[in-house]
Amino acid sequence: MSRLGIPIIGMIATLFLSACGGDSSDTPAPTVTLNVSPASVAAYQTATLTWSSTNASTCTATGNEWAGPQPLSGSLPQSVSTPGTYIYTLKCSSSSGAAASASTTLTITPGPLAILTGALGNGVIGTPFIQTIQATGGVAPFAWKVGGGTLPHGLSLVPSTANTVTISGTPDTASQGTAFTVQISDSAHHTATQPYTVSILLQADSLVLSAASLNFGNQIVGSASGALTETLTNGASADMVINSIAITPTAANAGEFKQTATTTCGASLAPGASCEVSLTFTPGQTGPRTAVLTITDDTAGSPQQAGLSGVGLSSGPNATLASMSLVFGTQLVGTTSAVQLLGLTNNGAVALSIGNIAVSSGFAETNNCVPSLAPGATCIIGVTFTPSGSGVVSGMLSMSDDAPGSPQTVSLSGTGSAKTPLLTGACYGLCRSVKPVKSSECPAGAPSEAPVALGAGCPAGPVTVDQARLCVSDSGYFRYGRCEAQ
């Protein structure tokens, strides 16, 4: 029996340990997969993270705007405002302590330059005013300025090289309907503007809007979005008269944003009551679209405004160029100009196939566009000018692709000069500092392109274009500049 007993006891022990999980080698190791689609989108466009795991009991995420415990499988939309490369990681563990991880990368590229903030709220005398204006697309760094009109007294545009800018201060003078325009310029010399109207009140307005703006996101051209709601609340102790609720589009996007029949706001609003304005977005064109919802009533802050925005996408591939022409000015024969950047955006729901990008003699190009561009993504074409002789040179950039209108074309022009043109002492440069700017060289509120003093060490009297460009660069006061004969 002793010879039989030992194996039996061993078998029982083995079975017992197995049932209790004592043999960890029998526990399957966890696995995890993580993907993002599309892998490259323009700023403010949406990509979707998708993940799954096996043999895991917990999952934890790390990455941009995605962190902490996550389900064992799922998906999550990601919309990032700042161009760059973003890494997302997911680690999943089993109950035995074994773990597996996976990572994926999302690239955010700049799209066409546009200001998304369509309206600003009113201010109150003696109350700090801080509101942010958001832009999308373009090539950083940026320069902001008040392009027309004047800000309410006590407010100023805070200098910024980012794609957001803040208007802040403490207003000290009442005003009704102060109108002004804000402009943004990027390093590729593209600009975008947006008009605003702001009132400065003696006390807080009794009509409150929520939210301050509505963003409808991406929508196929010609198809209506789901409805979004703007809520109006009467904070006064008396009835409020609502004279009109209207959408103020630009001439280019009339009818794209509309009220629906489910709007509950009537001719008046009782004290403490709320009503809702229901809105939809049906883009008529590709790219960023904006409008303003305006409420006219009998309150001191009338009219109140809320910005509306969305992005139109084509159902097939799309090719949207940031500019239809590039002008290089005067360039010394045999020398190469500074590169000019041209953004190409696919405002389509499917990838854009690009066969070839070619330029005329005298010009050269480089790009990160060929052979394809993902939906919502933007690539950059860089063009330079090298004249072989004197005189005006005209050319063309041509791009073959599978989008409507192919080939897409951009006109190119420049002038060759056998002699280096002279400057009278002024150089044009974008007022963005590499080191602290001297007020005499870049005064507060200066235009994005304005005559500025040459940097220290420049020759006295007339200088060549190349000398002026070198001096501006060496002085360190201007990151981007261009010099022209005066």
Tell me the CATH class for 114-313.
mainly beta
Tokens (6 digits) for 406: 């192919």
Tokens encoding 362: 């005298």
Q: What is the dihedral of CA 136, 137, 141, 147, to 10 degrees?
A: -60
Q: Among 421, 413, 414, which residue's Cα sits nearest to residue 466? A: 421
Q: Does domain 320-417 have CATH number 2.30.110.10?
A: no
Least confident interval from 37-46, 172-181, 415-424, 466-475: 466-475
Nearest C-alpha neighbor of 230 from the set 169, 281, 189: 281
In the predicted model, is pLDDT for residue 430 greater than 50?
A: no
The pLDDT assigned to 448 comes to 35
Q: Where do the CATH 2.60.40.10 domains begin and end in the chain?
A: 19-109, 114-313, 320-417
Integer Cα distance of 225 and 217 in angstroms: 9
Higher pLDDT, 252 or 78: 78
CATH number of 19-109: 2.60.40.10
Q: Model confidence at 415, in pLDDT bands (50, 70, 90)? A: very high
Question: What digits encode the pLDDT tens for the residues 132-170?
Answer: 999 887 777 889 999 899 999 999 999 998 889 999 999
Buried/exposed 342-363: b ≥16 CB within 10 Å, e otherwise: bbbbbbbbebbebeebebeebb
Mean of all residue pLDDT scores within the chain: 79
Q: What is the DSSP letter of 194?
A: E
Contact 282, 258 (CB under 8 A): yes
Contact criterion met (CB below 8 Å) for 133 and 158 = no
What's the rounded Cα separation, in Å, for the pair 276 and 292?
16
